Amino acid sequence: MTDTPVLALDNVSKVFGRGDGAVYAARSVSFALKAGRTLALVGESGSGKTTCARLIMREYQPDQGQLLFRGTPATHAMADYRRAVQMIFQDPFSVLNPAHTVHYHLERPLRLHQKELNKAQREAAIAELLERVKLDPALMAPKFPHELSGGQRQRISIARALAVGPEVIVADEPTSMLDVSVRLGILNLLNEMKRSLGLALLYITHDIATARYVAEDIIVMYAGQIVEWGPTESVLTDPQHPYTRLLLSAVPDPDVRFAQSSYNAEMADVENIRRLSAVPQPVVSEVGRGHFIRPIPG
Amino acid sequence: MKQLFSGLLGNRKAVIGAIILVLIIFAALAAPLLTEYSPTARVGRPHQPPSPDHWLGTTRVGRDVFTQLVYGARTSLAVGFGAGLMITVIGTVLGIIAGYKGGVIDEVINFFTNMVLVVPNLPLLLVLAAFIGQASPLVIAIILGLTSWAWGVRVTRAETLSIRQKDFVKSAEMLGEPAWRIMGFEIFPNLISIVGINFIGSVIFAVITEATLEFLGLGDPNTVSWGIMLYNAQNASALSVGAWWDLLSPCIALALLGLGLALINFAIDEIANPRLRTSGRLGRWTGLVRAGEGRL
Amino acid sequence: MSMPVLSVKNLSIDYIGEKSDFRAVDDVSFDIAPGEFFGLAGESGCGKSTIAFAISRLHRPPALIRSGEILLEGRNVLDLDKEQLRKFRWSEVAMVFQSAMNSLNPVLTIETQFYDVLHTHLGMNRSQARERAAQLLELVDISPDRLKSYPHQCSGGMRQRIVIAICLALNPKLLIMDEPTTALDVVVQREILQRIDKLRVEFGFSVLFITHDLGLMVQVCDRIGVMLEGKLVEVNAAQDIYTAPQHDYTRKLWASMPRLHGEQIRQGAQ
């Protein structure tokens, strides 16, 4: 397996508005997605993680920097890109068309991207896709979305993404709108897909504990910038950036009662930490093996 | 869509409305079987009250009212459904395109829609009909079809805009589905209820407006339709001479057709909007509270 | 326990359908002591929100309370008539909803929203209400110049804090919070809950905290009740729910939640 990342963002910035009112939704963002590995992208709302997802899905173009697909810049005329990069959405209730059956949802991608298959081969492919996501093909294929649970819909959504044979999957909060007892099944499925199909996974979430469960590497964003990044274990057990420390101390942790939490020390300075973390910082500091931060000024 | 039909069959309003509609359609189609008279021939003495010979009496010139009614139904239904279809098709197609494509196309369609919307409908029709002289039902149907689609575009566009935001549309785009396919096969199937309501509403509008135009004297007096029946009855001062059957028959026929269609429309709305479906549940709930089985 | 602030006894609530009924709450009983932070955990459809609505008497048809009592300091809430209910709301029980960001009237200033409650229940005039409102805002760490703002000029977290301040205006004995922070970021969530905890200790009211986030509840609650499909399957001290869960469902919930620190949960634990 070559070491060239399948997909990479190279110093990408995206600005909205002009002049004084200009907002950097993403500022000098660089990261790489490698086959068979999951990269977690965590941050609060407004941190820029959704912007990154949209840039990767080419909903809009970067204002600075570029998108690299297999090492070469991804330009408009790349039909291959569309097939290779697929997305899984957050809301299980709007991810499937209520007017069509499961079978239809899985047939369309095959008809569009694997035109060479005849009807029998297509049916076999659809059955295989459903089995991959642990659903019974005979039972599920004729059903309409309103007959399915949230977890089942999300599985169909994953099956649809896999139908075109992608290399990269962008999962945008895939479990945040599902019941707690159902989430693990979906995460396990993503892990398995990654291993068996060699996918590169970008896992976007605000639930950092799940990031630890699925991702080898992690990126923490705030105000459009990546403030800390590196191997998940390293960043989560030994966070160096004040914002990361603030974020992690606020994550619900049943082992720590409020009174004993480190949040109290961090909390005293929340305003300050946020203000300093938002300052554009081009300097990068290495704080561990593969573990980097953008230090705050002062 | 299957759900819609099965839902309609179980809905009381829909069933009653459908029965009325079917009866009227049947009367129109089976007209020669229901009456031996011709609608334009003089078959009796002027202004005879209802009798076994003439079930709804005769008009001022001795024509059979019942015969005119059942043959007239053909015209009203034809104009109603014909114009209704044209209005709905134009409105839906433009609405989906405007809502999905956005940008310049949306602006252009909106501009024309606003223009047509702002022009007062009935006066425009009056002017056009007067200009043409004696407008036959076909002409009336075409005029209605070409001038009344604006509201449908608005409604369809609004619904398209809200569906467009959904993830499944984004997913189809990411898959590389062509725009026409997304509009026709992804968005349109979710608009069936709105389109259905729009269609039936347009039919009611077309029927009433045709009758209005003819009543005002802008139609072709040689046609057999409910509107012309009203026109003739009015000219004959039917009510003042006591020949109530002459005037009331077309009136009630129009009202009945409108009622049937409106009931079907309410039913479609109820099925599309489950929150409106209260009848059965609320009855049971009140019963239980009264029996002391529970409280709020 | 001395007389509990809230005592739910054998509560059963149905949603009436056209042919059959859905049992949302099935014979649920629990108590909340004065000053206690009590959590009600469960997934969607388990009935926890239904109970919260029943305590505030907010249900509409087709909900139907079949049997049971809800005693607030001994008085059965279900027996209160309209007038008593009016006095009861806000002054004895106050409720914060999930979309509390939308509970504020968008066309009224913050000051007016406080005035509404303070004038109706305490007969305060505008200037008295303004003073009291400023005090209340301070409790939730919001500057009094926000009184002149409109809801859309405040962030989601701020709006939630304003709603909490309004809820505390009449010193209620019980504050019910139904998923108050689910739509907010973790840091804001932490700020708000920590503040409520402090206020609870200061003013002595009890809290009924409803959420699906079991990990969060163990951090802040004294006792926790776990609900499954309308039934209360386990009630215990927060630490015990975490370290020694008794019911299979509670154990299953813990096995479904990835850990941020320490030993990770097993993959096959489903």
Q: For residue range B160-209, what is the model confidence (pLDDT) as tens digits?
A: 999 998 999 999 988 888 999 999 999 999 998 889 999 999 999 999 99
Confidence of residue C19 (pLDDT cuts 50, 70, 90): confident
Which residues in chain C are closer than 8 Å to B281, comparing Cβ atoms?
Answer: 16-18, 61-62
The per-residue pLDDT for A1 is 47
Residue ranges of chain A whose CB lies within 8 Å of a chain B CB: 57, 79, 82-83, 86-87, 89-91, 94-100, 108-109, 112-113, 157, 160, 164
Q: Do B281 and C57 touch (CB under 8 A)?
A: no
What's the count of helices (H) and strands (E) in chain A, helices before strands? Answer: 12, 12
Q: Do B175 and A99 touch (CB under 8 A)?
A: no
Nearest Cβ partner for B168 among A82, A90, A97: A97
Per the DSSP assignment, residues forming a β-bridge with A170 are A87, A202
Cβ–Cβ contact A252 with C under 8 A:
yes
Neighbour tally for A81: CB within 10 Å: 20
Q: Do B171 and A160 touch (CB under 8 A)?
A: yes
Confidence of residue C270 (pLDDT cuts 50, 70, 90): very low
Which segment of B81-95, B168-182, B265-279, C196-210 scores lowest on mean pLDDT? B265-279
Q: Do A95 and B186 touch (CB under 8 A)?
A: no
The per-residue pLDDT for B175 is 86
**CA A86 from chain center: how many Å?**
11
- Could you report how far apart the first and last alpha carbons of chain B are, in Å? 37
The per-residue pLDDT for B222 is 85
User: What are the C-alpha distances in Å from A39 to residues A200, A238, B23?
Assistant: 8, 18, 67
Characterize A160-195 residue by residue with b for buried, 16 or more Cβ atoms within 10 angstroms of its Cβ, and e for exposed.
Answer: bbbbbebbbbbbbbbbebbbbbbbbbbbbbbbebbe
State which amino acid sits at residue A267.
Answer: M
Which chains have 3 or more CB–CB distances shorter than 8 Å to chain B?
A, C
Q: Hey, of B285, B286, B289, B293, which one would you mutate to test binding to chain C, going by the most C CBs within 10 A of its CB?
A: B285
User: Across chain C, what does the average pLDDT equal?
Assistant: 89
Which residues in chain C are closer than 8 Å to A206, comparing Cβ atoms?
Answer: 185-186
- DSSP 8-state secondary structure symbol assigned to residue B186: I
Which residues in chain C are closer than 8 Å to A209, comparing Cβ atoms?
Answer: 215, 257-260
Which tokens belong to B133?
């002289």
CA dihedral of residues C204, C206, C210, C213 (deg, nearest 10): 50
Give me the residues of A, 158-197, that contact C with CB < 8 A: 179-181, 183-185, 187-188, 191
The per-residue pLDDT for C1 is 57
Which tokens belong to A94?
């709007």
CA dihedral of residues A132, A133, A139, A141 (deg, nearest 10): -90
The per-residue pLDDT for A20 is 81
Neighbour tally for B201: CB within 10 Å: 19
Peptide bond into C62 cis (omega under 30): yes
CA distance B121 to chain C (A): 37
Q: Do C261 and A237 touch (CB under 8 A)?
A: yes
Q: Hey, of A76, A85, A97, A172, which one would you mutate to test binding to chain B, going by the most B CBs within 10 A of its CB?
A: A97
| pLDDT tens, N- to C-terminus, chain A (298 residues) | 457 899 999 999 999 888 888 888 999 999 999 999 999 999 998 899 999 999 999 888 899 999 999 888 887 657 788 889 999 999 998 999 999 999 999 999 999 888 888 999 999 999 999 999 999 999 999 999 989 999 999 999 999 999 999 999 999 999 988 988 899 999 999 999 999 999 999 999 988 999 999 999 999 999 999 999 999 999 999 999 999 999 998 898 888 887 777 667 656 678 888 888 998 988 899 988 999 999 988 6
Q: Hey, of C11, C26, C64, which one would you mutate to test binding to chain B, going by the most B CBs within 10 A of its CB?
A: C64
CA–CA gap between residue C90 and residue C78 (Å, rounded): 16
- Is residue A46 within a helix (H) or strand (E), and if so which, with residue range? none
* Backbone torsions φ then ψ of A238, nearest 5 degrees: -135, 65
**Concatenated DSSP letters of chain C:** --S-SEEEEEEEEEEE-SSSEEEEEEEEEEEE-TT-EEEEE--TTSSHHHHHHHHTT---TTEEEEEEEEEETTEEGGG--HHHHHHHHHHTEEEE-TTGGGTS-TTS-HHHHHHHHHHHHH---HHHHHHHHHHHHHHTT--GGGGGS-GGGS-HHHHHHHHHHHHGGG--SEEEEESTTTTS-HHHHHHHHHHHHHHHHHH--EEEEEES-HHHHHHH-SEEEEEETTEEEEEEEHHHHHHS--SHHHHHHHHTS--SSSSPPPTT--
CA distance C100 to chain B (A): 23
The per-residue pLDDT for B52 is 84
Which chains have 3 or more CB–CB distances shorter than 8 Å to chain C?
A, B
Which tokens belong to A9?
């963002």
Residue A247: half-sphere exposure toward Cβ, Cα within 13 Å: 30
CA distance A253 to chain C (A): 6
Q: Do B294 and C18 touch (CB under 8 A)?
A: no
pLDDT for C17 beyond 50 = yes
The per-residue pLDDT for B274 is 67
The per-residue pLDDT for A40 is 96
Chain C nearest-CA residue for B280: C18
C224 CB burial (10 A radius; 0-12, 13-18, 19+):
buried
Residues 6 or more apart whose CB falls under 8 angstroms from that of A244 comprise: A220, A227, A228, A235, A293
Q: Hey, of C16, C20, C56, which one would you mutate to test binding to chain B, going by the most B CBs within 10 A of its CB?
A: C16
CA–CA gap between residue A265 and residue C216 (Å, rounded): 19
Cβ–Cβ contact A206 with C under 8 A:
yes
For chains A and C, CB pairs below 8 A equal 92
CA–CA gap between residue B258 and residue A161 (Å, rounded): 49
Q: Do A184 and C218 touch (CB under 8 A)?
A: no
SS3 content of chain A, % helix, strand, coil (to 5): 40, 25, 35
pLDDT for C174 beyond 50 = yes
What's the count of helices (H) and strands (E) in chain B, helices before strands? Answer: 14, 0
The answer to whether C169 and C115 have CB atoms below 8 angstroms apart is no
- Could you report how far apart the first and last alpha carbons of chain A are, in Å? 43
Confidence of residue C100 (pLDDT cuts 50, 70, 90): low
The per-residue pLDDT for C269 is 43
Which residues in chain B are closer than 8 Å to A93, comparing Cβ atoms?
Answer: none
Neighbour tally for A147: CB within 10 Å: 12
Cβ–Cβ contact A209 with C under 8 A:
yes
Q: Do C219 and A213 touch (CB under 8 A)?
A: no
CA–CA gap between residue A159 and residue A104 (Å, rounded): 12
CA distance B275 to chain C (A): 11
pTM comes to: 0.85
Q: To which residue do tokens 């620190």 refer?
A: C261
Q: Do B174 and A57 touch (CB under 8 A)?
A: yes
Average pLDDT over residues C238-266: 90
The answer to whether B41 and B63 have CB atoms below 8 angstroms apart is yes
Q: Hey, of B12, B279, B282, B288, which one would you mutate to test binding to chain C, going by the most C CBs within 10 A of its CB?
A: B288
B206 CB burial (10 A radius; 0-12, 13-18, 19+):
buried
Which residues in chain A are closer than 8 Å to B174, comparing Cβ atoms?
Answer: 57, 82, 86-87
The per-residue pLDDT for B3 is 65
CA distance C24 to chain B (A): 14
